[in-house]
Amino acid sequence: MNEKVIELEKKKVVLVGLYLPGIYPPGKDEVVSGLLSNAFLKATAEADPEIKSRYSFDIIDIPTTIEACEIAEKICNLKPDILAYSVYMWNYTQMAESLVLVKDTFPEIKVLLGGPLVTYTPEDMLQKNPLVDVIVCGSGESRFKQLLKNNLDVEMLESIPRIAYRDENRQICLTEGDVQEDLNNIPLPYHNKAVDLNDGRKHTVIVETYRGCVFECGYCIWGEPDKSLYKFPIDGVLNEIDEIYNNPNVEAVIFADACLFYTRERAKQIIDKIVASSEGNRIPTVLTLDILVINEEMVQSLSKLNMIHGQLHFGMQTTNPKALELLKRKSGPDVFKKRIEQIRQVDPAAQISFDLIYGLPGDNYEAFRESVNFAMSMDPGKLYFSPLLLLPGTPFWDQKEELGFDYDPLPPYMVRSNKHYSPEDMEKTFRLVLWLLTIMYVPAIRDAIVKIPSYNSAFRSIELVDRYIEILRESIDPVSECECIFTIDNNNDSRRHVMNVISRPENILLAYEATQQLLSECDAEILSEDIKIGIDYYRTICVRENIGDSDFYDQYDRKKIDYIKTSWVTA
């Protein structure tokens, strides 16, 4: 009875993580993707006996697709005394809107913010969010403990480094100082059960084996100026992996490291541990990779893993020398060509994909097209296209006046143009990218277009894309229906609209027929076998009711059917 009374007297801390659903695994919105930051905060706080005796902790992981009123209701049901949000570029709006509703119900609660979006502009964020009491800048585990031990007493806040807060008169104050967490003192959250993977739900799990980055790319907040790597103890990391990869509720694992292979010896231990722990349960895994450090031994190690989409994924971003110079990146086209050839010598079946960013300073529409052309010449399994976001804390943010950036004033600050990339070029790129999606999400069409230049050298990949668009646009044009507004919501809505339209059977059939015409025009009918299967499949789907994939297995095997179908998951 006494224990229950004591438990009731504890203050309730609610940690809110708002995540993007349905990315890993693709299309599975029901799989929970908990933010690692909240897991670390809870694990660290609960490991301190004094804090554990005074506070209880709940983590709420909520998809960003839920309305603010429902987010607020979930928070209020837990009756928090302290509310902490982890704020990223994708969840700022949901945070701000739900906080207003929570404060209407619990006006006395203390509100903390942390995360990359608020770390570098804390004063501005406090001005825009008057209901917030404290912002913790950077990695926050040790200062989270300090705040709790001091009951968020305003008089004590000035002694805590690198925070922003409101004093007794609600005036904004900033404290100075540098904070670097000792990772030896931060418990890892899964092995320590701060996160319950057996709560009756399926989970996407995020893992961090070190913090920092050896580079300082213009658009990225990963790397600090000292370019140091701060590593979690390897024994703890291996125990964490064992816990995660042996849990049947884990659907996917994402490594949050800048590149696992920046710590080469540790990387080998980690991959070997994943393989040993995954016996009979090969969980899809996501790793960020750097083309500059990849070598034969690493490719052999990666071949042991179940990489999500079966892909080795690299950030190419651009091949334009001026843009690469401004980015402070050394991985130009020559490096990519050499390393991709090395990878395929080790693993000829390797599926390789690339990221490309548009809106970069030093770039323009024509330069972006050249980057796409080069990336397609590498025979990729997929190309991913992203608009540039001008994130606070990045070198580009610090140079925004010098580089002439025009950007959305609301998070996540999507770039509209810069002094090199005109608004007109940005709109043309926006529409080109939407058309490129219609190629990239149909593997058989993508591969046919990519391979044409090897059979007829008179054609370049980007020019083939232009012609494909011309042909298909005569029958269907969902891109023209999209308004070019440079916000992340409009960008995502436009992509969903285009691919939801194209992925209808009658429209995928049109895409296949356009590809067949393109092959004919290029004297590359040798590549038409899979295109003809796609035409047969989708033509049959369009005219026959209640027909399923299994009806085609006598004629074509299951892998072939999977290959010719669109990989888009309708949203």
Contacts of 38 (CB under 8 A, 6+ apart): 15, 16, 17, 59, 61, 84, 86
pLDDT in tens, 423-475: 999 999 999 999 999 999 999 999 999 999 999 889 999 999 999 999 999 99
pLDDT in tens, 311-347: 899 999 999 999 999 999 988 999 999 999 999 999 8
What count of Cα atoms within 13 Å lies in the side-chain half-sphere of residue 228? 5
Q: What pLDDT score does 7 carry?
A: 53
Q: What pLDDT score does 18 carry?
A: 96
pLDDT in tens, 256-295: 999 999 999 999 999 999 999 877 578 999 999 999 999 9
Q: What global pTM score does this model have?
A: 0.91
pLDDT in tens, 357-366: 999 999 999 9
Kindly tell me if the per-residue pLDDT of 62 is higher than 60: yes
| Span between the terminal Cα atoms of the chain, in Å | 50
pLDDT in tens, 28-41: 899 999 999 999 99
DSSP state letters, 218-267: TT-SS--TT---EEPPHHHHHHHHHHHHT-TTEEEEEE-SS-GGGSHHHH
Q: Are strands 32-33 and 203-207 parallel, antiparallel or unpaired?
A: parallel
CA distance 256 to 234: 16
- From residue 113, alpha-carbon distances to 36, 121, 133 in Å are 15, 12, 8
Kindly tell me if the per-residue pLDDT of 296 is higher than 60: yes
- From residue 404, alpha-carbon distances to 326, 388, 407, 411 in Å are 13, 14, 10, 18
Q: What pLDDT score does 5 carry?
A: 44
Read off the DSSP letter of residue 120.
Answer: S
pLDDT in tens, 207-251: 999 999 888 899 998 755 556 899 999 999 999 999 999 999 999
CA distance 262 to 259: 6
Q: What is the mean pLDDT of the chain?
A: 93
CA distance 209 to 141: 16
Q: What pLDDT score does 330 carry?
A: 87
Instruction: Return the amino acid letter for 40.
Output: F
Q: Which residue has the tokens 């299967």?
A: 533
Instruction: Work out the burial of residue 493: count CB atoms within 10 Å of its CB; fewer than 13 is exposed, 13-18 middle, 19 or more buried.
Output: middle
State CA 235 to chain mean position distance.
27
